[in-house]
């Protein structure tokens, strides 16, 4: 995809491209840990009829990682990466551009030289999270199905090899449009508040680490990495139980659906496995969140800085 100088000459164009760069950096940095998180969140397989036994203890992240590497090889950690990598650049580009537009619109009462208030940042984040759910929900559904396929959660005939496009086509054929948007409600409930916390934490953390950078810019790479990492951790901790429910709902396929909806999944998961199930895999998710979002914000800020500098130089050359 090519972008002309007119597009890159606008702040919206630069934010769009920089957001896409940040999104791809985040997927490449965190997909193996995301695969571990998804597998840790899944319920144990049901016992065979007539067998009465206590439910097995879920494996630790380290034990699960060793098992995956031994049984399936390192490539299993990257299974399903094509789906988010192909779409997350566009999704992340839209997220950062929508967030920038909303935060500026909500902060119009202040001077244009002043950064948006923290309240405007949080509200803009909530709006951004709600809007991007329409793109994110089908992508995460396909990603989760592919990530679980190697673990024995088959959704097609044995021996069939397929990627994200084939998986999406298969879901549409078997379950229809409603199937491809399975988990949309819980994804919106997760992402709207999480994005408010996400952007608020980033803006607050970078201002604390580098006072004045929200107004003048110029924060260091270390500030970007740490602030982005903290933003990711805060957003995941506040919404993690909903993410467990979402992953379980999106992992099931018709007609053998185990849960009837968000409330049913929540109740049955807690009744069968206890309250700790809502936080299963949190350590892996937090570690991934710090790495991924440090990479996302660093790549975004550096790309934005590069595009702004390059555009300024281009304008000077054109004037000369």
Contact 139, 91 (CB under 8 A): yes
233, 235, 226, 232: which is closest to 298 by C-alpha? 226
* Contacts of residue 209, Cβ cutoff 8 Å, sequence gap at least 6: 219, 223, 226, 227
Query: What CATH fold (topology level) applies to the domain 10-41+58-319?
Result: Mitochondrial carrier fold (1.50.40)
Measured at the CA of 26, the angle between CA 23 and CA 27, to 5 degrees, comes to: 90
What does the pLDDT read at residue 190?
93
| CA end-to-end distance (rounded Å), the chain | 29
Q: Is the pLDDT of residue 242 over 60?
A: yes
The residue ranking higher by pLDDT, 65 or 289, is 289
Among the residue ranges 158-162, 171-175, 251-255, the one predicted with the least confidence is: 158-162
Q: How far is CA 133 from the centre of its chain?
A: 10
pLDDT at 45: 65
Answer yes or no: are the C-beta atoms of 124 and 95 closer than 8 Å: no
Please provide the DSSP assignment of 192-216 as one string: HHHHHHHHHHHHHHHHHHSTTHHHH
Q: Which residues contact 284 (CB under 8 A, 6 or more apart)?
A: 33, 36, 37, 40, 61
For residue 85, what pLDDT band results from cuts at 50, 70 and 90?
confident
Cα–Cα distance for residue pair 161/252, rounded to 1 Å: 19
Structural Rg of the chain based on CA atoms: 21
Q: Which residues contact 38 (CB under 8 A, 6 or more apart)?
A: 144, 147, 148, 247, 251
Task: Tell me the pTM.
Answer: 0.78
């Amino acid at each position: 995809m090519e972008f002309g100088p007119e597009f890159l000459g606008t702040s919206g164009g630069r934010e769009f491209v920089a957001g896409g760069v940040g999104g791809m950096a985040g997927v490449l940095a965190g997909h193996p840990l995301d695969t571990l998180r998804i597998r840790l969140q899944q319920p144990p397989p049901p016992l065979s009829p007539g067998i009465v036994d206590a439910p097995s203890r879920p494996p630790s992240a380290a034990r699960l990682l060793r098992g995956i590497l031994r049984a399936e090889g390192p490539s299993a950690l990257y299974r399903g990466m094509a789906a988010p990598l192909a779409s997350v650049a566009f999704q992340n580009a839209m997220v950062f551009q929508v967030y920038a537009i909303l935060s500026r619109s909500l902060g119009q009462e202040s001077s244009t030289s002043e950064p948006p208030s923290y309240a405007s940042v949080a509200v803009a984040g909530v709006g951004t999270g709600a809007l991007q759910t329409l793109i994110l929900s089908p992508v995460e559904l396909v990603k989760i199905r592919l990530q679980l396929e190697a673990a024995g959660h088959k959704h097609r005939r044995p021996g069939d090899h397929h990627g994200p496009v084939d998986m999406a086509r298969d879901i549409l054929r078997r379950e229809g449009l409603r199937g491809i948007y399975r988990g949309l409600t819980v994804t919106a409930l997760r992402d709207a508040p999480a994005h408010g916390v996400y952007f608020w934490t980033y803006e607050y953390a970078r201002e604390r680490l580098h006072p004045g950078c929200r107004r003048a810019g110029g924060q260091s790479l270390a500030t970007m990495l740490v602030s982005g990492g903290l933003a990711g951790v805060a957003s995941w901790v506040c919404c993690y139980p909903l993410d467990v429910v979402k992953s379980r709902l999106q992992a099931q396929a018709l007609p053998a659906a185990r849960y009837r909806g968000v409330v049913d999944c929540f109740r049955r998961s807690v009744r069968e496995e206890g309250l700790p199930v809502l936080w299963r895999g949190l350590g892996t998710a937090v570690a991934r969140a710090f790495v991924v979002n440090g990479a996302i914000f660093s790549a975004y800020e550096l790309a934005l800085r590069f595009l702004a500098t390059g555009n300024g130089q281009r304008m000077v050359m054109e004037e000369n």
